[in-house]
Structure 1
Amino acid sequence: MIDDAPLTPHEEDEAMAAELALGLLDGAEAQEAVARLSQDPEFAQSVRDWQERLAAMTDDLTPVMAPARARQAIRERLGHVRAPLTRDPNERNSWWRSPWGALVGSLTVAATVAVLWLPGQQQQQPVTGPAYQVELVAQEIALRVAAQVEGREMQFLMQSGGAAEGRDLEIWWIEPDGSAPISMGVLPRDGNMRMTLPQGMEPSDQIRIALSDEPAGGSPTGQATGPVVAIAELTRL
């Protein structure tokens, strides 16, 4: 019996490109492949070729919209919307929502402010946790995106550049433990976006944020499939 010949380096690259396009890689292998997208043009082209081959296989399929419940759950997890019916519209307002309650509340706030500004009193500031920032730059496409985290609120601001026609820039949260990058959604065309970080995504100076060039609407596999155009670590303000 003759053993199969080992793969050549080119064949190994093709296999990795195909697995990345199919979303089969995870952990350290996924990180290595994603990093190569921005460093190895031939590998990035191979991934795009596989994406086109796989996309051609779906030409005769009828697109089906994801269930509304699934779309809503994803948007809630990303902090884009609140859960529907979180408050009963028929529920009677509590006394403190009435005009009398508003008056009492105003008097209470005024009294609190007066106490805080009395001589010898130290004004207390709310604790929101450390703040971080990151700047994502891709000189090849004149792209510059600034982002900032305060507490659990994160906002993105496009300063220059943008996605090519028919493409989108997808944002990725990369943990230092080698786990698969987590999609944070597609950067809007105007480049401005604010979101609340879901539980489990804790900002630190070891977290990296990346932007990948994806088909319109974002990665079809749940992992970065296009080239990573920019990547940088969060830095503490």
Structure 2
Amino acid sequence: MNYLQQERLDALSVNYVLGGMRGKARQRFQRLLMQQQQVRETVWRWEQHLNPLAESLPEVKPDQKLWHKLQQRLGWQHADVVQLKPRNNWLHPANWVAAAAAACLALVLLLPPPAALPIELAVIQTKEAKALWLVSKQGDTVVLQASAAVPADPVHDYELWMLPTSGQTPVSLGLLPQRGQVSYPWPQAAAGLTVAVLAVSLEPKGGSPTGQPTGTVLHTSELMTL
């Protein structure tokens, strides 16, 4: 099938923008977004036509508990509770300091909290829905956290890219860790751009030598705002 035939590409782009494209078909189309400027421009054009229709809909914000539940389900949140025996030795000077600190803390808690920055997150997973990385963005920082399922590759790096809705070329967000987590500042080249899709490519050690994806596009995902 020739996906670049304009009439067919328009139909696919409308289906993609409206969210009707699912599963493997959506992943294939997102790979085309990475590779073809014509596809990015067509999707951007249809987003300009269709997105204003959503502005009249009421905003629905997911509960903050969703973030914690997601971390727990992915095995990336562990709560170790330590039981301490109560002590009544309030005459010790150290306890005076503790009491003063507690009073200061109570005062801070009574103050109105600052407005929380929205959290954007994406789970990058395999076709079998096995989670590989958790991507979270808050403010100007993006945190990339690997799961134990990430295949170790000593001679390549996994690189994360964002594709802007404007149809511009992909912007690198940094190398994904094969273990543990890393954090990067949000790149200046991506400032002010809206993310259409995230993609992971397999690159030479140290990342793409050209500043654009050069290896196979392995996975795609989309950011969700909490």
- TM-score, normalising length: structure 1: 0.46
TM-score by length of 2: 0.48
Larger Rg: 1
